[in-house]
Amino acid sequence: MKKKLTAIIVGAGHRAYVYAEYALHHPDELEIVGVADPSPGRRERTRRWFNLRPDQCYESADAVAALPRFADFVINGTMDQHHVPTSLPLLAAGYDLLLEKPFATSEEELWQLVAAARQHGRKVSICHVLRYTPFYTAIRREVLNGTIGEILNVQAVEHVSYHHMAVGFVRGKWSRRDFSQSTMLMAKSCHDLDLIAWMKSGVAPVRVSSFGGNFQFRPEKAPPGAGTRCLVDCPIEADCLYSARKHYLDHPDRWKWYVWDCLEHIENPTLADLEASLKADNRYGRCVWKCDNDVVDHQSVAIEFADGCTATLNMIGGSARPTRRLHLVGTTGEIQGCFEDSTFVIRHFDTRPGHEYTEKTVDLNVGGDMTGASGGHGGGDLRVTEDFLHVLRGEPPSISSTGLEDSISGHLMGFGADRSRESGTVVTLKTDR
């Protein structure tokens, strides 16, 4: 039988619950034995969900760290700006960490956390959940098998849907750098930067440049006559694509963890409660063109690796269909696919007369690993927890395993890209310390 491990939730929000849910599906492998969160409502909800005693609920990571260690690891799902400040005392207290991405909001914080993990000899896994999806795992396996030779170029694209853009980066928690401390690139596309680094694992990125800005969601772009709050003073709300009514009342469960967090004190809020909050001071009731957002809505990144390989990432917010695409070009072939379709093609040279290339389609929807996949992000959410349990039990990790050291390059590429965008210069990266 597998050894049963125990965990404490620190930051009882959406992402922490997703990873902790593994305990509900596999109670013989994982048990949640504590929670720390400043919100009494979230502590109580977690207590009920995981059948905790009141004395297993704490207000902060510091309160947990002050006690003798009483769990095998911590699931840290705090907001971006709290990842490092909450992790440092937990590492010092002897806890291993399953830590949400991005694991730091600056290079200084990054090296601070890395130094602490090294000093205390703790295991830290970063929740780059896309690595664990069948789609990206299958592509990585092809790369490791030498299917397309040496990679000379990586092209990644992320199209962020209009409703995700509005809820997260215009109206929501990641709309201002001074609040979350993260840029949109790091909050949203550090997954994609990590995937690029993973495909080139073992080869350091050396230079990065980037361009981008907030093209669309500015006051001067507002439609004529637009008000300041959709359901209060906007005469064009009925025709607006970004109406809070259309995004949140017509789809009350789509972004419930974010939009309705101001109603957590109500056990089962009604539709009338939701509408009243949007008419009052709920930040998600604001006009998208008249918010206080200061992050980009699109950004392009170019990267050079030590072996001469180049890579690009294009992140575009406000698309109709959310998609992630990846195209790897190697010395003997190429791989190109779309995550949402769970399909990619492998192409090779074909020098026969009348031919140019061969093409093989890998469809993970047909008898592949996608069959029966559970959890969000194509099944990656629960697999990241499962893999960390393997690591802690001393079992072989999967090829997707995202240890802290392996997550450094992707983060440094993102921090460098943002510095480049802001300064208008090419940034040289230093990936070791």
Q: Mean pLDDT in the chain?
A: 95
Give the span between the Cα atoms of 258 and 37, in whole angstroms: 16
Dihedral in degrees, nearest 10, Cα atoms 45, 47, 51, 52? 180
Q: Are 128 and 402 in contact (CB under 8 A)?
A: yes
Tens of pLDDT, residues 149-200: 999 999 999 999 999 999 999 999 999 999 989 999 999 999 999 999 999 9
pLDDT higher than threshold 70 for residue 256: yes
Taking the C-alpha atoms of residue 40 and residue 47, their distance in angstroms, rounded to an integer, is: 10
The topology under which CATH files domain 5-122 is Rossmann fold (3.40.50)
- The percentage of the chain sitting over the pLDDT mark of 90, rounded to a whole number, equals 91
3-class SS at 248? helix
Distance (Å, rounded) from C-alpha 282 to C-alpha 167? Answer: 12
Q: For the purposes of burial, counting CB atoms within 10 Å of the CB of 218, is it exposed (0-12), middle (13-18) or buried (19 or more)? A: middle
The residue whose two tokens read 């890998």 is 362
Taking the C-alpha atoms of residue 231 and residue 278, their distance in angstroms, rounded to an integer, is: 7
The token pair that represents 140 in the structure block: 């990585």
Mean pLDDT of 369-376: 44
**Average pLDDT of the segment spanning 306-329:** 98
Task: Say if strands 333-338 and 323-330 run parallel, antiparallel, or are unpaired.
Answer: antiparallel
Domain spanning 130-217+294-373+402-428: CATH 3.40.50.720:
no
CB 5 within 8 A of CB 29: yes
Enumerate residues 6+ apart whose C-beta is below 8 A from 409.
197, 204, 205, 431
pLDDT at 374 over 60: no
Given this chain, do its domains 5-122 and 130-217+294-373+402-428 carry the same CATH topology?
A: no
Residue 367 has pLDDT above 90, yes or no: no
* Span 14-71, pLDDT tens digits: 899 999 999 999 999 999 999 999 999 999 999 999 999 999 999 999 999 999 999 9
387-431 pLDDT, tens digit per residue, is 999 999 999 989 999 999 999 999 999 999 999 999 999 999 988
Furthest-apart CA atoms within the chain: distance in Å: 76
Q: Is the pLDDT of residue 371 over 60?
A: no
Mean pLDDT check: name the lowest of 97-111, 163-177, 360-374, 375-389.
360-374
- Work out the percent of the chain whose per-residue pLDDT is above 70: 97
Spatial contact of 306 and 108, defined as CB atoms under 8 Å apart: no
To 10 degrees, what angle do helices 184-199 and 134-144 make? 40
The 3 state secondary structure assigned to 154-165 is EEEEEEEEHHHH
Closest listed residue to residue 177, CA positions, set 167, 192, 187? 187
Count of CB atoms within 10 A of residue 293's CB?
A: 23
Burial letters for 119-156: b for 16+ Cβ neighbours within 10 Å, e otherwise? ebebebbbbbbbbbbbbbbbbbebbeeebbeebbebbb
The answer on pLDDT for 330 being more than 70 is: yes
Angle between helix 107-120 and 83-92 (nearest 10): 10
Domain regions of the chain by residue span: 5-122, 130-217+294-373+402-428, 219-290
The model scores a pTM over 0.85? yes
Token code pair at residue 157: 């694209």
Give me the helix-helix angle, 408-423 and 107-120, nearest 10°: 160
